[in-house]
Amino acid sequence: MSTETSTLRKFVSPEIIFGAGARHAVANYANTFGARKVLIVSDPGVVEAGWLTDVIASLESQDIDYACFADVSPNPRCEEVMAGAAFYQEQGCNVIVAVGGGSPMDCAKGIGIVSAHGRHILEFEGVDTIDVAIPPLIFIPTTAGTSADVSQFAIISDQTEKVKISIVSKAVVPDVSLIDPETTMTMDGFLSACTGIDALVHAIEAFVSTGAGPLTDMHALDAIRLINTNIAPLVANPKDMQLREQVMLGSMKAGLAFSNAILGAVHAMSHSLGGFLDLPHGLCNAMLLEHVIDFNYSEATDRFKVVAETMGIDTRGLTTQQVKAKLMEHVIALKMEVGLTQKLAENGVKISDIPTLSEKALKDPCILTNPRKSSKRDVEVVYEEAL
As a whole number, the mean pLDDT across the chain is 95
Domain shared by 56 and 193, yes or no: no
Write out pLDDT tens, residues 62-98.
999 999 999 999 999 999 999 999 999 999 999 999 9
- Taking only the tens place, the pLDDT of each residue in 284-293 is 999 999 999 9
The residue segments making up the domain with residue 282 are 189-386
**What sign results for the dihedral spanned by CA atoms 27, 39, 185, 191?**
negative
Is the same domain home to 103 and 236? Answer: no
Domain assignment of residue 178, yes or no: yes
Asked if residue 123 is part of any domain, the answer here is: yes
In angstroms, the CA 302 to CA 306 distance is 7
Question: Is 132 found in the same domain as 28?
Answer: yes
CB atoms inside a 10 Å sphere around CB 301: 15
pLDDT at 6: 57
Assess whether pLDDT exceeds 60 at residue 4. Answer: no
Tell me what pLDDT residue 261 has. Answer: 96
Whether residue 291 sits in one domain with residue 167? no
pLDDT higher than 70, residue 353 = yes
How many Cα atoms are found within 13 Å in the side-chain-facing hemisphere of 300? 26
Q: Which residues, in sequence order, are bridge partners of residue 87? A: none
- Same domain? For 149 and 109 the reply is yes
Same domain, residue pair 53 and 123: yes
Q: What is the rounded average pLDDT of the residues 299-328?
A: 98
Q: Is residue 1 part of a domain?
A: no
pLDDT band at 279 (very low <50, low <70, confident <90, very high): confident
Per-residue model confidence (pLDDT) at position 1: 42
46 and 165, same structural domain? yes
Would residue 122 be called left, alpha or beta, if left means φ above 0 and alpha means ψ between -120 and 50 degrees? alpha
With respect to residue 2, please indicate whether it lies within any of the assigned structural domains. no
179 and 263 in a single domain? The answer is no
The residues, ordered by sequence, that sit 6+ positions from 346 with a Cβ below 8 Å of its Cβ are none
Query: Would you call 359 exposed, middle or buried from its count of C-beta atoms within 10 A (0-12, 13-18, 19+)?
Result: middle
Statement: residue 356 has pLDDT above 80 = yes
pLDDT band with cut points at 50, 70 and 90 for residue 3: very low
Helices (H), the chain: 2-6, 26-32, 44-49, 51-61, 78-90, 102-117, 189-208, 214-236, 241-261, 265-277, 281-296, 301-310, 320-337, 354-362, 376-386
Q: Decide if 359 is inside a domain.
A: yes
The sign of the torsion formed by the CA atoms of 182, 333, 254, 357 equals negative
Dihedral through CA 226, CA 229, CA 232, CA 238, nearest 10?
-50
Q: What is the pLDDT of residues 191-231, one digit of tens each?
A: 999 999 999 999 999 999 999 999 999 999 999 999 999 99
What average pLDDT does this structure show over 123-146? 95
Q: Is residue 317 part of a domain?
A: yes
Residue 4 included in any domain: no
Order the strands of the 153-158 sheet from edge to edge.
Answer: 126-127, 163-168, 153-158
**pLDDT band of 8, cuts 50, 70, 90:** confident
Mean pLDDT for 106-111 is 98
Both 18 and 32 in a single domain? Answer: yes
When divided into structural domains, the chain yields a total of 2
Q: At which of 160, 184, 208 does a domain end?
A: 184
Which of 127, 158, 184 represents a domain boundary (last residue)? 184
Q: Are residues 73 and 23 in the same domain?
A: yes
**pLDDT digit string (tens) for 228-262?**
999 999 999 999 999 999 999 999 999 999 999 99
| pLDDT value, residue 2 | 41
- DSSP-derived letter for residue 135 is P
Co-location of 156 and 196 in the same domain: no
The string of pLDDT tens digits covering residues 47-67 is 999 999 999 999 999 999 999
Structural domain includes residue 285: yes
CATH number for 262? 1.20.1090.10
- Assign residue 22 the CATH number of its domain: 3.40.50.1970
User: Do residues 151 and 255 lie in contact, with contact meaning Cβ atoms separated by under 8 Å?
Assistant: yes
**Sign of CA pseudo-dihedral 296, 300, 302, 303:** negative
| Boundary (domain end) residue, out of 155, 184, 213 | 184
Do both 243 and 109 map to the same domain?
A: no
